[in-house]
Structure 1
Amino acid sequence: MNQPITNAEKLSKLPWSIGSNALVNVFVQLTFLGSVFILFLNTLGLDKSQIGFLLSLVPYTGLIALFIAPLIARYGYKRTFVHFSVLRLLFAALLLLTPWVVSNFGAEATLLFITVVVTLFSITRSIVVTAYYPWAQEYIPKSIQGKYSATNNLFTTLAGFLAVTLAGFVLDLTTGLTGYLVLIIIGVLCGAVAVWGVTKVPGGAPVEVGRGVMASFRDTIAALGDKGLLFFLAGVGLITLATVPLTSFVPLFLQEEVGLSSGNVVLVQTGVLLGGLVSTYLWGWTSDRYGSRPIMLSGICLLALLPIFFMLMPRYSPVSLYVALGIAFLQGIADMGWVIGSTRSLFVSIVPPEKRSEYTALYFACVGVFGGTSQLLAGQVVQLSSGVSGSFYFFVVDAYTPLFLLSIIFAIASLFTLRTVRSDTQVTVEEFAGMFLRGNPLSAMTSLVGYHFAQDESRVVAMTERLGVTRSPFTVDELLEVLADPRFNVRFEAIISIARTRPDPRLTQALIDVFNGTELALSNIAAWALGRVGDQTAIEALRQGLNSKYHSIQANSARALGRLGDAKTAPLLLERLQNEPDIGLQMAYASALGNLRAKEATSPILHLLHDIQNEGARRELALALARLVGDEGHFIHLYREARADFGTATAQAVSAFKRKIEKVLNSETKVLSTLGACADNLARDQLTEGAGYLAQLIEVLPADHYDPH
């Protein structure tokens, strides 16, 4: 009996899987599944419908997955993968005979030969892929599915980037079929090394299957009773109809309608690979954190925009290549989002582990049907619309325009279909997209990278500060993590950083937990942070803090409640202000009442201001009084001006008040004369005399100009 593979063993062997996949990508890019093969067929003189037919053979053979799944399980997923990968290489090598067939048997025989080779390659590829999906679900831990997909796509994309770059240079330096043959040889050699590497990956042992082929087929078809799978397959089919024709026929569009050379057309594919390369870790990380569906749907939204950009791009222009590279770069980002999101959704949310053979076979067959159909339809559409030309506003209408319009329609239909599938997250695509509009997402990403590489305390503290400064929702999990760090200074900085960032329910609850904890220093700073964050859900915990046995907790709770505007606490704070002997608590209550604009606290605060001599405390009490009348901004401005030149600043303030009073008290000469004398004395730095006139002003100003309090 086979022992289950441990996670440690799985993790240690994943690099072999990634390396093998990277080399396989080089193989397929240079043989059957890249723009090189499409240009190869075009060079042979095949028309669009013939090219579409040949391209459809690759996905259509995926239908055999419905019948061979139990045979593969019985033979062993790994053994099947390796053996048929070798056969796939041998069939790909047959393409090297194409020049001999052309020269000896003519065009019709060449088409037949290519058809046979593509069919053999497609059948073996379908068997290989059918074996891969259940095997991959076995050796890739679910907890890192997104991370694995990101890392795997990073290296496969990088390998593909190098392969396509090489292909572009080779095709520019050669003529006829020579360059294509060189690339096929390189591709087959890379494929051979890939097969050797995959033998190091664990798992994939034979599985006892107690059913025959037809019984297994019935079980596979029965899986369609799962509505979640059905909607997922429908969405996958629609996006396949939208994107596969673009991948196949955009190279011809760029060559025939935009005016790019064969070498440049191949180089455009580097934009796709580069876009995937730079975005793969972002998509993988976000899919593990926020779930599959928002990533998958975000990719579809971007894919729906691509045909519009292709229709708008300049034709036969010096900048055409660069525009094409830019669109291709966006395509790479979109493709990677779709691939990572949909793959994770398939393995984590859609496929039950006990039915992985049936579900993955059905998935691959569905992709094959839609993929093959899309190639056939695309070839026919382009062939039938070959005479179309014209313009519509900013859009150039040509033979490929109907194909682009159909792509947009299918992508939108896929978006609405996949919104209904079951998901491993409650995050919607709108919420996910909104995360990029809040805070500084770019700074957040760089801060996250820096945080995960930071080790010593001072570096972690610095990176924790940056996490808060970004004010991005992408840093929430790291802030929660750093709040549990064993180092006190790191936890202290985490609380301050949480206070800097945007309110988040999880962060607020974490601060409440710290506030209710036993570390007094952290509890006090947590109370301050709760006030600054401004989340009303913290009010109840802070009210409880008013009854703490520690004066510091009481004081910081009161200040935070004032910052949060908890008017219901005002009567209690006023009562305590009048009866509390502790000066520190009196200051906290007065400050909170000022924030709450509790005007009934005016008299107690004035008495406290009279009794306290500490300048810092007096300034805070004066500010509390200013807040009672709702004029904090004017008070702060006057305070700053007065620190530089007290007499001049206060004289200007009194003069401004006089001009305001003149508009409503024209006959009150006593008030105006008092104000004038006050301003004059203050301007001469005769502060005592100026203060005396202010006292007189209080007596002579009509009572109806005062607030009742």
Structure 2
Amino acid sequence: MAMNEQAATPETPTNVEKLRLLPWSIASEAMNSIFSQFTYWGPPFVLFFSELGLSNTEIGFLFSLLPFFGLIAIFVNPAVARFGYKRSYVRYYTLRKFITLFLLFVPWINIRFGGRYTLLYSTIIFVLFALSRSIAITAYFPWRQEYVPDSVRGKYAATNNIVSQLTGMAAVVFAGYIVGRSDDINRFLILIAIAVIVGLISAALVTRVPGGAPVQLTQAGSRLGETLSTLRDANFRYYLLGLGLVTFANAPESTFVPLFMRREAGLTESQTILLQTGVLIGGLASTYFWGWASDRYGSKPVIHSGLYLRLLLICGWLLIPRGSVATLPIALGLAALQGVTAISWVIGAGRLLYVSVVPPERKGEYMSVYYAVLGLFGGLSQLLGGRLVDLMSGLTGEFAGITLNPFMPLFAISLLLTTLGVWLFYRVSADNDFSVVEFASMFVHGNPFSALSSVARYHYARDERAALRATTKMGITRSRLAVEELLDALQDPRFNVRFEAIIAMARLEDDPRVSAALQEIAIGNELSLTAPAIWALSRMGAANAVGTLRRGLDADFYSIRAHCARALGTLNDVQSAPLLLERLQQAANPGVDIAYASALGNLKYEPAVPAILNLWDVAETQGQRFEIGLAFARILGDERQYVRLLRSVRADLGTTIAQALTPLKSEIAEQAGLLATLTGCIDAFAGQALDHGVELLVALIGQLDPETLKPAEWLVLEKCSILLGKPVDSALEVIVLVVDLLLTTRSRLAGSDRH
């Protein structure tokens, strides 16, 4: 039976209260980022111990203590829960700042007693700091899961990281300035003293954050056993194993990459510290994007994207030039990429943990195991990483164009473990259905940068006109990144925005969510939006809308039936052809019948030819007659040729028809009767004797042998010969259709002369 947690007092804060007080958490984290950059997690701290003469192994040992003490989380969690997550965090978070003060005496110990006692004294400080930090973080994780609402978790993480990155960037610039001013060890002590002051301010700010009340624990069995029972959760096990491998691969970055850049790449101390600015800039530039992406598309696409980028980062470290003018710019670029990958990992893995992996009712047990595993792998990576670098201190030379150095095995192991981590996170249950391939595909379709810009404009639109412009732009970008906003626009209270959203959606490639939303409108009661929704479904090629469109053929309104018929034709739904022909034969309404004919033409359904022929007698407008002619051209002739000729005859009927018929002369050169009639027809049209040209065109049809043509072709040509008795201006589509059919069947005309 699992350990149950019940809040004692005060009551659990509401989401309104949580959202109102979240800025205090962000402010506290911002101050803590300064503390971190000046001390345990910043390059100056590594350089500080390196200058004191500690070896790579000793430095790795010291920094391994910080994560290793995370193992105590599974033992102290029950006590922390009873004492209260907030109270435990604030108390031990503050205590570790006072412990850090004792680092100011490290140089004196080094001078007075030597390196051995310096390591011993530093170890004691690290142990005390790591112990208080581990207790604080054991409380922090379940407290944070409580005070950050899931609906804004990605946004909060992004905002928190942006603010922390900005303050951290300022801290790095300041640290670089202080370290670069002199070679005195006191420059590091100044940073440590400032860090303690800022850290205490951070502790004061976090007291305003709500939640974290003491809990009553009831259990049946061993507390440790109940905590370890979380490992029966297969999804949690996969997450922990992936977390462990990625942590093992990533943890040495803050410790050994600065040393690599200083010793192997040839950067100065101030330049090495400057690289941290690149890390912060990369993180800052990508934080909002990763937070937005995780809330919208889920955690796994963010995690995997970051890990794939990290593989590129490691390759960059392996190939960076040594001691050249390009070293610093390339190192800064890699540092920025490091920041991008680090933030994607923090946001993606954190959101996956809180939203999908850890059940809220057992957050204390799960989070203590999580932190213990994090500490185990993090500590091992620091300890073994430093030892590995020392063991490989004699590694030199060149292999496959890559300069060998003591840090290379460390990077190679990181490359391997990151690859394994990618595979393991595919096994973790996702918080949505988006895969990394689908996520990546959004950035190769359309214009992603313009789409993101349009999305921002949509959210900040001040009035209807601005919202319309943004909605239009989202469609023009043809990017799936704007799908969520377009779906939101369909729910907008402003009719024009909803209408524009439908038009914008029509420009996208087929998307299941968009198709479902448009189908709902297509069968809805808002008739002014029904027609554009049906058109949009056909325009975007929504094959899954066929069922909805077929049902639309029975709609009460003829206009909806017509739009559905045209859409089925556009979607090339061949199975609908018999149904469309049946409706056409019922002759319900001329406008709808023209739509049926157009759809059947799109489907190239030859059995529909006789029924479509009857429409020519009831067509009321030239546009309808043009569409009937197009249906025949699609079924029997050449659509492209028909449209091209129809465009040309509007400017010059005679010349266009004469030029189009001329190639037929070579096909029927041996048929004297046909050739004479054709030649006379061409000459008449060329001389603008249009009525005479039409008479000869009718005569030409009469000379054809029906046996050389398909029955449907002959049926259409016979009907055309009758219709050509009308004035030329009202029979343009008939003339063009006859020419189109003659050109399409010209290979069979050689034996057509019946005279």
Whether the TM-score (by the shorter chain) exceeds 0.5 is yes
Q: Which residue of 1 aligns with 2:636?
A: 629
Normalised to the residue count of structure 1, the TM-score between the two structures is 0.94
Match of 2:696 among 671, 675, 693: 693
1:675, 1:192 → 2: CA distance? Answer: 100
The code of the aligned residue for 1:457 comes to E
2:381, 2:705 → 1: CA distance? Answer: 86
Does 1:10 pair with 2:13? Answer: no
Deviation at 1:674, TM superposition (A): 3.8
The code of the aligned residue for 1:419 comes to Y
Map 1:388-399 onto structure 2 (within 5 A): 388-399=395-406
Against the structure 1 CA distance between its residues 669 and 332, is the aligned structure 2 distance closer, same or farther, given a 3 Å change threshold?
farther
Query: Is the contact made by 2:395 and 2:406 (CA closer than 8 Å) also made in structure 1?
Result: yes
Deviation at 1:95, TM superposition (A): 2.1
- 1-10 vs 609-618, which deviates more? 609-618
Q: Which residue of 2 aligns with 1:681?
A: 684
Map 1:358-507 onto structure 2 (within 5 A): 358-507=365-514
Does 1:218 pair with 2:233? Answer: no
Once the two structures are superposed, what CA deviation does each residue of 1:592-644 show, in whole Å capped at 9, x if it has no partner? 12111123333444453465463333332332222223522222333334444
Query: Is the contact made by 1:597 and 1:630 (CA closer than 8 Å) also made in structure 2?
Result: no
Does 1:107 pair with 2:110? Answer: no
Once the two structures are superposed, what CA deviation does each residue of 1:664-704 show, in whole Å capped at 9, x if it has no partner? 54422443444444334333333333333332332334546
Structure 1 residue matching 2:183: 3-state secondary structure: coil
Query: Is the contact made by 1:243 and 1:303 (CA closer than 8 Å) also made in structure 2?
Result: no
- 387-396 vs 269-278, which deviates more? 387-396
Deviation at 1:174, TM superposition (A): 2.7
Structure 2 residue matching 1:500: 3-state secondary structure: coil
1:649, 1:174 → 2: CA distance? Answer: 88
- 565-574 vs 75-84, which deviates more? 565-574
1:342, 1:247 → 2: CA distance? Answer: 19
Match of 1:141 among 143, 149, 152: 149
Query: Is the contact made by 2:590 and 2:618 (CA closer than 8 Å) also made in structure 1?
Result: no
Once the two structures are superposed, what CA deviation does each residue of 1:36-91 show, in whole Å capped at 9, x if it has no partner? 21122222222211111111111111112121112211222111211212221112
Q: Which residue of 1 aligns with 2:5?
A: none
1:533, 1:575 → 2: CA distance? Answer: 27
- Rg comparison, structure with higher value: 2
Deviation at 1:426, TM superposition (A): 2.5
2:249, 2:678 → 1: CA distance? Answer: 78
Match of 1:573 among 554, 572, 580: 580
Structure 1 residue matching 2:216: 3-state secondary structure: coil
Match of 2:63 among 44, 55, 58: 55
Q: Which residue of 2 aligns with 1:233?
A: 240
Match of 2:166 among 134, 138, 158: 158
2:533, 2:657 → 1: CA distance? Answer: 38
Structure 1 residue matching 2:114: 3-state secondary structure: helix
The code of the aligned residue for 1:70 comes to P
Q: Which residue of 1 aligns with 2:40?
A: 32
Map 1:575-590 onto structure 2 (within 5 A): 575-580=582-587, 582-590=589-597
Query: Is the contact made by 2:568 and 2:599 (CA closer than 8 Å) also made in structure 1?
Result: yes
1:343, 1:531 → 2: CA distance? Answer: 41
Across the aligned residues of Structure 1 and Structure 2, the Cα RMSD in angstroms comes to 2.2
- 695-704 vs 101-110, which deviates more? 695-704
Query: Is the contact made by 2:143 and 2:211 (CA closer than 8 Å) also made in structure 1?
Result: yes
Does 1:708 pair with 2:714? Answer: no
Deviation at 1:211, TM superposition (A): 6.8
- 317-326 vs 12-21, which deviates more? 317-326
Map 1:501-650 onto structure 2 (within 5 A): 501-580=508-587, 582-609=589-616, 612=619, 614-629=621-636, 631-650=638-657
Deviation at 1:394, TM superposition (A): 3.7
The code of the aligned residue for 1:369 comes to L
Deviation at 1:591, TM superposition (A): 1.4
Once the two structures are superposed, what CA deviation does each residue of 1:204-239 show, in whole Å capped at 9, x if it has no partner? 122223579x94323222222222222211111100
Query: Is the contact made by 1:502 and 1:533 (CA closer than 8 Å) also made in structure 2?
Result: yes
Q: Which residue of 1 aligns with 2:751?
A: none
Deviation at 1:590, TM superposition (A): 2.0
Against the structure 1 CA distance between its residues 669 and 138, is the aligned structure 2 distance closer, same or farther, given a 3 Å change threshold?
same
Q: Which residue of 2 aligns with 1:328?
A: 335
Q: Which residue of 2 aligns with 1:194?
A: 202
- 238-247 vs 600-609, which deviates more? 600-609
1:38, 1:425 → 2: CA distance? Answer: 41
Q: Which residue of 2 aligns with 1:123?
A: 131
2:552, 2:432 → 1: CA distance? Answer: 35
1:548, 1:410 → 2: CA distance? Answer: 60
- 501-510 vs 404-413, which deviates more? 501-510
2:629, 2:374 → 1: CA distance? Answer: 72
Once the two structures are superposed, what CA deviation does each residue of 1:230-251 show, in whole Å capped at 9, x if it has no partner? 2211111100111112332111
2:244, 2:212 → 1: CA distance? Answer: 28
Once the two structures are superposed, what CA deviation does each residue of 1:388-436 show, in whole Å capped at 9, x if it has no partner? 1222334222211111110011111112222212222222222222232
1:708, 1:601 → 2: CA distance? Answer: 12
Q: Which residue of 2 aligns with 1:167?
A: 175
The code of the aligned residue for 2:293 comes to T
2:606, 2:46 → 1: CA distance? Answer: 80
Against the structure 1 CA distance between its residues 331 and 684, is the aligned structure 2 distance closer, same or farther, given a 3 Å change threshold?
farther
Structure 2 residue matching 1:27: 3-state secondary structure: helix
Against the structure 1 CA distance between its residues 222 and 618, is the aligned structure 2 distance closer, same or farther, given a 3 Å change threshold?
same
The code of the aligned residue for 1:77 comes to Y
Match of 2:73 among 65, 68, 82: 65
1:262, 1:429 → 2: CA distance? Answer: 39
The code of the aligned residue for 1:436 comes to F
Once the two structures are superposed, what CA deviation does each residue of 1:516-560 show, in whole Å capped at 9, x if it has no partner? 111111112222222222222222222222222211111111111
Gap runs ≥5 in structure 1:
none
Does 1:304 pair with 2:311? Answer: yes
2:169, 2:704 → 1: CA distance? Answer: 82
Match of 1:96 among 100, 104, 115: 104
Match of 1:667 among 649, 653, 670: 670
Deviation at 1:149, TM superposition (A): 1.4
Query: Is the contact made by 2:52 and 2:107 (CA closer than 8 Å) also made in structure 1?
Result: no
Against the structure 1 CA distance between its residues 673 and 196, is the aligned structure 2 distance closer, same or farther, given a 3 Å change threshold?
farther
Q: Percent identity?
A: 45
1:705, 1:150 → 2: CA distance? Answer: 73
Query: Is the contact made by 2:172 and 2:273 (CA closer than 8 Å) also made in structure 1?
Result: yes
Query: Is the contact made by 1:448 and 1:467 (CA closer than 8 Å) also made in structure 2?
Result: yes
2:589, 2:229 → 1: CA distance? Answer: 76
- 124-133 vs 689-698, which deviates more? 689-698
Structure 2 residue matching 1:208: 3-state secondary structure: strand
Against the structure 1 CA distance between its residues 669 and 289, is the aligned structure 2 distance closer, same or farther, given a 3 Å change threshold?
same
Structure 1 residue matching 2:433: 3-state secondary structure: coil
Query: Is the contact made by 2:509 and 2:541 (CA closer than 8 Å) also made in structure 1?
Result: no
